[in-house]
């Protein structure tokens, strides 16, 4: 789904955010991107959503090299990437429904279809009852769930999230992460940048660790044994 | 090179494919309807936004309306002057006074001779009685005419030259006509007409310059208003761009807002001009009456109304387009 091949990103200020970063994420995978602040997590996400372009190396989305996407082609790419932001970036003067509907409005989805999909997305994040509310009337966790509903409503193949739990207390953060984890069930690829290491570890997912722009670890959790094996182990345990 | 290009067709396929599984459209007409729906939504929502800030909207419309009303008034003034100039086309006519004592036969011969000149369009005879009657009709002349014992007026042949005759050709014609047997005196007022034509041409040019400057002013008014609106909604625009809204999508509500401003401004200009015309109609009519004319004012015709509305729309749209242009580039990677 996503491939980084020796990607280097240098900002105009001269700061090198990524150095020779190479990794691949398969379709339907859930991957955490972690590291200290300034390690390059956000830059990786910005390269994927074409908010920035790589200085060297290739970023491939599907089979497409994003370096070859023209300015006119950027919106089409972004419509295939659901984005969740730390500060959720909702339109405060619109209702929850209108916020979630925005990607579908952009894609010119007919009204009836749009309403169906928005309601279904709101149900997934357990906010079906709040569709007429405005974001300011919601709690921080609920606002972030609206952001997630907006990211998934157009059923993009890839969802990326930059510190989605950065502003939430640990309980809410865990809830939000669990919500992200459910997305892969429908085949969606999920890439979450987070520096909340305890939370990341508890999730038992693949973790890419960045340090000063270099990829220093690609940790894959040992898959839990299948149920019957687990049961067998349990039965022989003294 | 070809390796560089190869992603393009594949990319198009991928986009279509994504559309198929991501955004399902049952038929082409449904997507057309959705597209039309987007436009209707854009038009109405931008109208709603203008309504939400009606005081600011009113101000913009008023300024832009004034900028459109002034050239419109100039245009109407010019058209009325031109028409007035047309009604005094007679000034172009040459008056050939028939020598006193000529009989009907001699007059007929002179008339035929004049009509035969290549530079002459038509000849009209005005008998002394007709001349007297015209004189009597002029305000204040009736009493004077009544005092006359006999008609002192000569027979006059009114000669209309061919259209577009240059001034030296006019003078030559006058010379030829004066030399004809039976002709006494040839009168024509050329300079006055020439000056009138030139003054009108100058006025038309001035009006065009003023109109161009005011149109630019209207463009800037809309552009600036929309630019402020764009800045005020920078956050929303950035979000929409992140969610994959194309430049066209982002621009659309602002273009519609520009069109609305232009439309309302031209309507305001038209109403203003209609009011001005109504206010002027009385004094103009009484002035014309004092000259024995029944000419009223030429008002707004369908063509002028249409052109004004179109000009407002185009200026509003263009101003909005320019205002959006710079901002849109911000959502793209460098």
Q: Which of B169-178, B250-259, B301-310, B314-323 has the lowest mean pLDDT?
A: B169-178
Tell me the pLDDT tens digit for each residue of A198-229: 899 888 899 999 999 999 989 887 777 778 88
Q: What is the mean pLDDT of chain B?
A: 81
Average pLDDT of the segment spanning B190-204: 78
Q: Which of A36-40, A111-115, B141-145, B247-251 has the lowest mean pLDDT?
A: B141-145
Which residue among A63, A102, A109 places its CB closest to the CB of B34? A109
The full 3-state SS of A84-126, as one line of letters, equals: ECCCCCCCCCCCHHHHHHHHHHHCCCCHHHHHHHHHHHHHHCC
* ∠ CA B169-B174-B177, rounded to 5°: 125
Tell me the pLDDT tens digit for each residue of B274-288: 999 999 888 888 887
What is the model's pLDDT at position B114?
86
- B18/A113 CB distance under 8 A: no
Segments making up each domain of chain A, as ranges = 2-80+156-236, 88-155
Other CB atoms closer than 10 Å to residue B163's CB: what's the count?
8
Residues of B in contact with A75 (CB under 8 A): 241, 244-247, 249
Average pLDDT of the segment spanning A103-115: 90
In the predicted structure, residue B188 carries a pLDDT above the cut 50: yes
- A64/B242 CB distance under 8 A: no
Q: What confidence tier does A110 reach under pLDDT thresholds 50, 70, 90?
A: confident
Q: What confidence tier does B40 reach under pLDDT thresholds 50, 70, 90?
A: confident
Task: List, in order of start, the domains of chain B with CATH numbers.
Answer: 41-87+195-331 (no CATH), 94-187 (3.30.70.3040)
For chain A, say whether B9 makes contact (Cβ under 8 Å).
Answer: no
Percent of chain B with pLDDT over 70: 85
In the predicted structure, residue B316 carries a pLDDT above the cut 90: yes
Q: What confidence tier does B244 reach under pLDDT thresholds 50, 70, 90?
A: very high
Q: Which two tokens stand for residue A41?
A: 């997590």
- A110/B30 CB distance under 8 A: yes
In the predicted structure, residue B3 carries a pLDDT above the cut 50: no
Topology of the domain covering A2-80+156-236? Rossmann fold (3.40.50)
- By the 8 A CB rule, do A183 and A152 touch? yes
For chain A, say whether B283 makes contact (Cβ under 8 Å).
Answer: no
Residues of B in contact with A45 (CB under 8 A): none
Percent of chain A with pLDDT over 70: 100
- By the 8 A CB rule, do B312 and B272 touch? no
- What secondary structure letter does DSSP report for A165? T
- Please tell me the distance from the alpha carbon of residue A152 to that of residue B290, in angstroms, as a whole number: 80
Residues whose CB falls within 8 Å of the CB of residue A195, separated by 6 or more in sequence, listed in order: A34, A35, A36, A37, A41, A163
Count CA atoms within 13 Å of residue A197 on its CB side.
6
In the A/B pair of chains, how many CB contacts fall below 8 A? 102
Which residue among A64, A74, A110 places its CB closest to the CB of B33? A110
Judged by CB atoms within 8 Å, which residues 230-269 of B form the interface with A? 235-236, 238-247, 249
- B11/A154 CB distance under 8 A: no
Q: What confidence tier does B219 reach under pLDDT thresholds 50, 70, 90?
A: very high
Tell me the pLDDT tens digit for each residue of B122-170: 888 888 888 888 877 777 777 777 888 788 888 888 888 877 676 677 7
In the predicted structure, residue B109 carries a pLDDT above the cut 90: no
- Please tell me the distance from the alpha carbon of residue A66 to that of residue A53, in angstroms, as a whole number: 8
- A69/B239 CB distance under 8 A: no
Residue with tokens 């409005």: A105
């Amino acid at each position: 789904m996503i491939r980084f091949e020796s990607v280097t990103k240098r900002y105009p200020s001269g700061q090198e955010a990524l150095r020779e970063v190479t990794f691949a994420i398969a379709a339907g995978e859930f991957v955490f991107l972690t590291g200290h602040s300034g390690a390059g997590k956000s830059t990786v996400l910005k390269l994927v959503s074409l908010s920035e372009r790589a200085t060297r190396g290739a970023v491939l989305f599907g089979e497409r090299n994003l370096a070859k996407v023209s300015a006119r082609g950027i919106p089409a790419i972004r419509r295939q990437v659901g984005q969740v932001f730390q500060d959720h970036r909702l339109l405060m003067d619109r209702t929850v429904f209108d916020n979630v509907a925005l990607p579908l409005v952009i894609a010119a989805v007919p009204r009836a279809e749009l309403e169906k999909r928005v309601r279904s997305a709101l149900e997934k994040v357990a906010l079906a009852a709040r569709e007429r509310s405005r974001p300011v009337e919601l709690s921080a966790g609920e606002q972030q769930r609206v952001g997630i509903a907006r990211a998934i409503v157009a059923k993009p193949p890839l969802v990326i999230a930059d510190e989605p739990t950065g502003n939430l207390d640990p309980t809410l953060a865990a809830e939000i992460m669990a919500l992200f984890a459910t997305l892969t069930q429908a085949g969606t690829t999920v890439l979450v940048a987070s520096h909340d290491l305890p939370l990341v570890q508890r999730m038992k997912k693949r973790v890419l660790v960045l340090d000063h722009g270099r990829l220093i670890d690609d940790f894959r959790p040992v898959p839990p044994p299948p149920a019957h094996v687990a049961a067998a182990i349990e039965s022989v345990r003294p | 090179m070809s390796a560089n290009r190869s992603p393009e067709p594949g990319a198009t396929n991928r986009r279509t494919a994504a559309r198929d599984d991501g955004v399902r459209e049952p038929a082409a007409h449904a997507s057309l309807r959705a597209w039309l729906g987007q436009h209707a939504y854009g038009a109405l929502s931008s109208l709603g936004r203008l309504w939400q800030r009606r005081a600011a909207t009113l101000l913009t419309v008023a300024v832009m309306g004034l900028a459109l009303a002034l050239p419109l008034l100039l245009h109407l003034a010019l058209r009325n002057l031109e028409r007035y100039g047309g009604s005094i086309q007679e000034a172009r006519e040459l008056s050939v006074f028939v020598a006193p004592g000529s009989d009907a036969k001699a007059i007929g011969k002179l008339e035929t001779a004049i009509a035969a000149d290549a530079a002459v369009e038509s000849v009209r005879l005005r008998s002394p009685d007709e001349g007297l009657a015209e004189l009597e009709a002029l305000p204040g002349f009736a009493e004077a005419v009544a005092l006359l014992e006999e008609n002192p007026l000569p027979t006059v042949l009114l000669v209309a030259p061919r259209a577009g005759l240059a001034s030296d050709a006019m003078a030559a014609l006058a010379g030829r006509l004066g030399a004809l047997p039976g002709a006494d005196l040839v009168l024509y007022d050329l300079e006055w007409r020439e000056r009138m034509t030139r003054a009108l041409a100058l006025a038309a040019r001035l009006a065009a310059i003023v109109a161009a400057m005011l149109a630019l002013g209207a463009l800037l008014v809309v552009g600036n208003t929309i630019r402020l609106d764009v800045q005020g909604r920078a956050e929303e625009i950035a979000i929409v761009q992140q969610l994959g809204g194309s430049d066209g999508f982002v621009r659309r509500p602002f273009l519609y807002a520009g069109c609305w401003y232009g439309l309302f401004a031209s309507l305001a200009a038209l109403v203003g001009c209609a009011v001005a015309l109504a206010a002027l109609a009385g004094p103009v009519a009484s002035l014309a009456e004092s000259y024995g004319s029944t000419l009223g004012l030429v008002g707004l015709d369908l063509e002028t109304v249409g052109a004004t509305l179109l000009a407002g729309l185009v200026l509003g749209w263009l101003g909005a387009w320019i205002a959006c242009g710079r901002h849109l580039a911000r959502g793209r990677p460098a």
